[in-house]
Amino acid sequence: MASFKVTRISEGPVKPASATPEETLPLAWVDRYPTHRGLVESMHIFRSGADAAPGVIREALGKALAFFYPLAGRIVEGAEPGCPAIRCTADGVYFAEAEADCSLEDVRFLERPLLLPKEDLVPYPGDDRWGVEPHNTIMMMQITKFTCGGFVMGLRFNHASADGMGAAQFINAIGDMARGLTEPKVKPVWDREKFPNPKIKPGPLPELPVLALDYIVLDFPTGYIDGLKKQYKEHSGKFCSGFDVLTAKLWQCRTRALNLEPNAEVKLCFFASVRHLLKLDRGYYGNSIFPVKMSAPAEKVLGSSIMEVVDMIRQAKDRMAVEFFQFAKEETDQDPFQMTFNYESTYVSDWSKLGFSEVDYGFGPPVFAGPLVNNDFIASVVILKAPLPLDGTRMLASCVTKEHSEEFIRGMKADLP
């Protein structure tokens, strides 16, 4: 196997391009949730623009931060213990530029397994270069130039400051500035006080098992997904999403692969936006999510048709609104965000419509944009837009061990064209 090298050639803070307010802004209840206090890592791969990208994006980042100025600050402890806030210091975002001695083709456009270490592609500055702890840092960015004109943006974004949709809103704002706009198409709105602030205390952090999960990539053409959606329309007379049908297929195939006892409880969880329930402004970029949880005996999941499993998912979505308002009105004393991480539970995250795939810095949209997923303690799946030139949806699955991966893959691919 060829050995390639990435060399960092510059690094340092990018500050807002103009003066910004000095204030401390409170985070919402869901922003402050302990499991959100960390940096989510992602890769954004572009086929062209390498020579211009570092300078263009660095300048555009400064201009975007003038609007999204809290993101140039730091997370600090608030007036009350356990209530972190953002101090708007204008200290800036860590930004690095690097060069790879290979082309994106040489490293298979960073398909798994990666031919370059993850740590070379996303920023990991030393304490001498960036003295802020990761859980207090809001954002870091690295642009890595490849030979033959491609580049990769490696991003680390603190979940406490924004959810996926909010992070994508900011990244698109950088694109707006890079293409010469004078302000973002969607202006940021803080308004954290509009998210409910119940007195419910977050539950204890869950225990994390070591599961040694396989990493599996599955692609589903648009025509195949549309066929499943059509079947559901015929089954129920109602419409459903591509997420619904793929998640139903995932839950059933995974349950079959695990070969559990018939009465064993299998669980599925994903997070849904509640922006529509709260009637939040389009520019709201904070966390505005709520868990959708399902639990059923293995025999029920396996004994149902895929369309009946879609029914179960849609019913859980409908229940979510009721459960959210019970949480908001303090009609429950249970922490709805409390999670259990065991092998019978799987967590699904939908990146397909967040907006990362539409970002344009003047070099066209990314070939691929998605998270770097690699853990051995949460059975998880990410659904996202398939990389160009593929048409459809990609599933990044770290949800089964090697013992069960062959049966899981067989089931997921069983009726693919």
Domains of the chain plus CATH, in order, are: 6-188 (3.30.559.10), 216-413 (3.30.559.10)
- pLDDT-derived band at 374, boundaries 50, 70, 90: low
Give which of 53, 63, 72, 66 is closest to 13, Cα–Cα.
72
Mean pLDDT for the stretch of residues 258-264:
96
Please check the confidence at residue 162 and state whether its pLDDT lies above 60: yes
- Nearest-angstrom CA–CA distance, 292 and 103: 41
- Nearest-angstrom CA–CA distance, 406 and 417: 19
Mean pLDDT for the stretch of residues 172-187:
98
What global pTM score does this model have? Answer: 0.94
Choice among 53-67, 114-128, 158-172, 237-251 with the minimum mean pLDDT = 114-128
Mean pLDDT for the stretch of residues 306-335:
96
Which tops the pLDDT comparison, 1 or 122? 122
Mean pLDDT for the stretch of residues 175-195:
97
Strand partners, 13: 94
Which tops the pLDDT comparison, 205 or 229? 229
Please check the confidence at residue 252 and state whether its pLDDT lies above 60: yes
Residue 372's pLDDT is what? 87
Element (H, E) at 323: helix 306-328
3-state secondary structure of 60: helix
Ramachandran angles phi, psi of 23, nearest 5°: -155, 165
Please check the confidence at residue 120 and state whether its pLDDT lies above 90: yes
* CA-angle at 314, arms to 267 and 230, nearest 5°: 120
- pLDDT-derived band at 211, boundaries 50, 70, 90: confident
Asked whether 290 and 272 are in contact (CB, 8 A), the reply is yes
CA 218 to chain CA centroid, nearest Å: 18
Please check the confidence at residue 208 and state whether its pLDDT lies above 80: no
For residue 360, indicate whether it is catalytic: yes
Mean pLDDT for the stretch of residues 143-171:
97
Please check the confidence at residue 412 and state whether its pLDDT lies above 90: yes
Element (H, E) at 156: strand 151-158
Tokens of 209: 């098992």
Mean pLDDT for the stretch of residues 384-405:
94
Please check the confidence at residue 369 and state whether its pLDDT lies above 60: yes
Please check the confidence at residue 6 and state whether its pLDDT lies above 60: yes
- pLDDT-derived band at 1, boundaries 50, 70, 90: very low
Please check the confidence at residue 376 and state whether its pLDDT lies above 80: no
Q: Which of 31, 159, 176, 404 is labelled catalytic? A: 159
Residue 388's pLDDT is what? 86
For residue 127, indicate whether it is catalytic: no
- pLDDT-derived band at 377, boundaries 50, 70, 90: confident
Mean pLDDT for the stretch of residues 170-181:
98
Strand partners, 397: 216, 381
**Radius of gyration for the chain, computed over Cα atoms and rounded to the nearest angstrom:** 22
Mean pLDDT for the stretch of residues 134-162:
97
**Residue 345 neighbours by CB under 8 Å, 6+ apart:** 266, 267, 268, 269, 339, 379
> In angstroms, what CA-CA distances link 148 with 46, 51, 101?
11, 10, 10
Please check the confidence at residue 79 and state whether its pLDDT lies above 80: no
Which tops the pLDDT comparison, 327 or 373? 327
- pLDDT-derived band at 57, boundaries 50, 70, 90: very high
Asked whether 89 and 72 are in contact (CB, 8 A), the reply is yes
